[in-house]
Amino acid sequence: MRIIVASDHVGFPLKQAVVDHLTSLGVSITDAGPHTPHVPVDYPDYAQRVGRAVAAGEYERGVLVCGTGLGMSIAANRIPGVRAALCHDVYMAEMSRAHNDANVLVMGAGVVTPQQAPAIVNAWLDTQFDAGRHVPRLAKLDLGFPSAQDQDPNPISFRFGVALSPQPTSFGPLLYAGRLAEGLRMAAQAGFSVVELSLRSVEGTDADGLAAMLDELNLSLAAIATGQSCIHDSLCLCDPRAEVREATVERLKSIMLLARKFDAAVIIGGIRGRLSGTAPEQEEQRAAAVEAIRDCARFAAARDVMLLIEPVNRYETNFINSSADGLALLDEIGEPRPKLLLDTFHMNIEEPGINAALEATGDRLGYVHVADSNRLAPGQGHIDFLGVLHTLARIGYAGPVTAEILPFPDDLAAMQQAGSFLTSLSAS
């Protein structure tokens, strides 16, 4: 770990104690000054020096000292990306890391003695960030607070949703699988306005009962995913057998008729399956799959149902992996109504840049899935979802933004993490 340390002239003695302690621990440090206590200096200059270095990623952490610590903490926190915490005891140091992920420690030389400082520094270095419920709160801090003049007078209001499954399934990134009523109730409580359902088939689906539950909870059904037909029933569009492809198309058409009742879209993603065999055999399968999708597109258009093509990463299929693949398929199908569904999890694997892919798709984007780089709730990995929402707003996308995520650590926690994180980003 690399740490940059600075103080003003009043905090100089305590800063030296911190430098000596960090050196004894073998930590790589940079003393950014001052180098004498006898010349008065201005604390904002040193707060800026440390804060900018930490925010730029040149150092993992920073330590600042002045007389009370107040001036340094105020100054450092004016720099975006800095979370400076004024800590005068071990408990405050621990909480600053566990709950606030503080990257700059501030102490006051008039409050903390050189003898007390090592324990505070140790607690701050050793305590890990708890993440979880604290992630969306920190997202708000990192976004800052725009002034009234900076507010968009006509902001896009995103419709956030979550993907559920009415039946148990081996497909992982779905919440409350087999517990639909509970999942719908929790989705409403978590602040979602729409849901997506992953259906194996329409058999056993009580459309009237589903409509009543949605209406009671003020939810709407945004889309129906169809991949479980391929996973559980081996009904896949890339199957080399014509009778299987025909049965798959019939399954899709029955789902479209259900979707029509809810003004919901239908997703063709995992139901494509995989191309197999030799190169000529794969080319033949691909042509047959494209024709099947074209048939589905025409059926959907005649019934005013949105058909969505979802590119899926190379580890799950070898047919339509990237947004460019998806756009090319839309051109090949030759029907005007189908659009793309882009999923940030798959895009993180396949696209050189997520935002560039969204911009290139433009008005042919019909739906968005969000999951972090590890397929957990947004905010649990490294994808820049603020940038994603800014890009969606810039291209004028106003459709659903649905979390299709793994139920980790459990369904409820994943639901709440996704809901609070997305809501906090949208509000900012």
Asked if pLDDT for residue 197 goes beyond 60, the answer is yes
Say if residue 274 is exposed, middle or buried (CB neighbours under 10 Å; 0-12, 13-18, 19+). Answer: middle
Q: Which of 125-134, 280-289, 376-385 has the highest mean pLDDT?
A: 280-289
pLDDT given for residue 155 in this prediction: 54
Which is more confidently placed, 398 or 424? 398
Identify which of 349, 376, 385, 369 has the alpha carbon closest to the alpha carbon of residue 225.
Answer: 369
Two tokens at 418? Answer: 């996704």
| pLDDT tens string 304-347 | 999 999 999 999 999 999 999 999 999 999 999 999 999 999 99
Domain ranges in the chain are 2-130, 159-427
Choosing from 310, 316, 350, 359, which is the catalytic residue? 310
Q: How confident is the model at residue 156 (pLDDT cuts 50, 70, 90)?
A: low
**Tens digit of each residue's pLDDT (9 = 90 or more) over 204-243:** 999 999 999 999 999 999 999 999 999 999 999 999 999 9
Question: Residue-wise over 379-418: b if at least 16 C-beta within 10 A, else e?
Answer: bbbebebeebbebbeeeebebbbbbbbbbbeebbebbbbb
The whole-angstrom separation of Cα 157 and Cα 155 is 6
CATH for 2-130? 3.40.1400.10
Q: What is the pTM of this model?
A: 0.71
Long-range contacts of 124-131 (CB under 8 A, 24+ apart): 124/87, 124/93, 124/94, 124/96, 124/97, 125/1, 125/25, 125/27, 125/61, 127/93, 127/94, 127/97, 127/98, 128/97, 128/98, 129/97, 129/98, 129/101, 130/98, 130/99, 131/380
Can you tell me the mean pLDDT for 125-139?
A: 81
Q: Is the pLDDT of residue 143 over 80?
A: no
pLDDT at 137: 75
Read off the pLDDT of each residue in 180-192 and give the average, rounded to a whole number.
96
- Work out the average pLDDT over 125-130: 94
What are the pLDDT digits (tens) for 37-50? 999 999 999 999 99
| % of the chain with per-residue pLDDT over 70 | 95
CATH classification for the domain delimited by 159-427, as one of 3.40.50.970, 3.20.20.150, 3.30.2270.10, 3.40.50.720:
3.20.20.150
310 is catalytic: yes
pLDDT of 427 reads 66
404 is catalytic: yes
pLDDT tens string 58-105: 999 999 999 999 999 999 999 988 999 999 999 999 999 999 999 999
The length of the chain is 428
Catalytic residue among 196, 350, 351, 404, which?
404
Q: What is the pLDDT of residues 203-214, one digit of tens each?
A: 999 999 999 999
396 band by pLDDT with thresholds 50, 70 and 90: very high
pLDDT of residue 131: 78
